[in-house]
Amino acid sequence: MTLNGTGARAGEAASRAAVLKRLRVSDTIFHGLTRAAAILVLLLLSGVIGSLVIGAAPALGTFGFSFFVTETWNPVTEKFGALAPIYGTLVTSIIAMVIAVPVGLMIAFFLTELCPGWLRRPIGIAIELLAGIPSIIYGIWGLFVFAPFLQKYVQPLLIDTFENVPLLSSLFEGPPYGIGMLTAGLILAIMVLPFVTSISRDVFDAVPPVLKEAAYGVGCTTWEVFRHVILPFTRVGVIGGFMLGLGRALGETMAVTFVIGNAHKISASILAPGTTISASIANEFTEAVGDLYTSSLVALGLILFFITFVVLSLARYMLLRLKQREG
**Looking at the structure, do residues 266 and 301 belong to the same domain, yes or no?**
yes
**Looking at the structure, do residues 74 and 57 belong to the same domain, yes or no?**
no
Please check whether residue 239 is in contact with residue 104, taking contact to mean a CB–CB distance below 8 angstroms: no
CA distance 104 to 128: 12
What band does 6 get if pLDDT is binned at 50, 70 and 90?
low
Model pLDDT, residue 138: 93
| Residue 281 parent element (H or E) | helix 277-284
Give the residue-averaged pLDDT of 124-153: 90
**Looking at the structure, do residues 100 and 45 belong to the same domain, yes or no?**
no
**Looking at the structure, do residues 302 and 252 belong to the same domain, yes or no?**
yes
**Looking at the structure, do residues 50 and 175 belong to the same domain, yes or no?**
no
CATH code of residue 138: 1.10.3720.10
Average pLDDT of the chain to the nearest whole number: 88
Give the residue-averaged pLDDT of 208-222: 88
Domain boundaries, position 196: 66-326
Cα→Cα distances 278→74, 136, 183, 281, Å: 18, 14, 16, 5
Cα→Cα distances 224→170, 192, 231, 232, Å: 37, 27, 10, 11
How far apart, in Å, do the first and last CA atoms of the chain sit?
63
**Looking at the structure, do residues 89 and 57 belong to the same domain, yes or no?**
no
Give the residue-averaged pLDDT of 273-295: 90
Domain boundary among 26, 45, 62: 62
Domain boundary among 62, 92, 113: 62
pLDDT digits (tens, 9 = 90+) for 60-102: 999 989 999 999 898 888 899 999 999 999 999 999 999 999 9
What band does 169 get if pLDDT is binned at 50, 70 and 90?
confident
CA distance 38 to 33: 9
- Of these ranges, 4-8, 79-83, 283-287, 314-318, the one predicted with the greatest mean pLDDT is 79-83
pLDDT digits (tens, 9 = 90+) for 28-68: 899 999 999 999 999 999 999 999 999 999 999 999 899 99
Domain boundary among 35, 62, 89: 62
CA distance 47 to 34: 20
Whether the pLDDT of residue 1 is over 50: the answer is: no
CA 49 to chain centre: 20
CA 76, 77, 80, 81 torsion-angle sign? negative
Whether the pLDDT of residue 165 is over 90: the answer is: no
Write phi, then psi, for 268 (nearest 5 degrees): -70, -25
Model pLDDT, residue 56: 93
CA distance 48 to 101: 31
Give the residue-averaged pLDDT of 245-271: 90
**Looking at the structure, do residues 227 and 153 belong to the same domain, yes or no?**
yes
- Non-local (6+) Cβ contacts of 198 within 8 A are 108, 127, 128, 131, 241
Cα→Cα distances 166→91, 163, 169, 183, Å: 20, 8, 6, 23
Q: Taking Cα atoms as reference points, which of 82, 89, 87 lies closest to residue 68? A: 82
Model pLDDT, residue 5: 60
**Looking at the structure, do residues 186 and 259 belong to the same domain, yes or no?**
yes
CA 29 to chain centre: 36
**Looking at the structure, do residues 55 and 107 belong to the same domain, yes or no?**
no
CA distance 306 to 310: 6
Model pLDDT, residue 326: 62
Give the residue-averaged pLDDT of 114-118: 85
**Looking at the structure, do residues 148 and 83 belong to the same domain, yes or no?**
yes
Whether the pLDDT of residue 297 is over 90: the answer is: yes
Whether the pLDDT of residue 2 is over 70: the answer is: no
**Looking at the structure, do residues 186 and 296 belong to the same domain, yes or no?**
yes
* 3-state secondary structure (DSSP) of residue 206: coil
CA 155, 157, 162, 164 torsion-angle sign? positive
CA distance 119 to 93: 31
Whether the pLDDT of residue 318 is over 80: the answer is: no
- Non-local (6+) Cβ contacts of 178 within 8 A are 147, 148, 150, 151, 152, 155
Tally of domains within the chain: 2
Model pLDDT, residue 256: 93
Cα→Cα distances 123→42, 118, 156, 198, Å: 39, 10, 33, 11
**Looking at the structure, do residues 54 and 96 belong to the same domain, yes or no?**
no
Write phi, then psi, for 73 (nearest 5 degrees): -140, 95
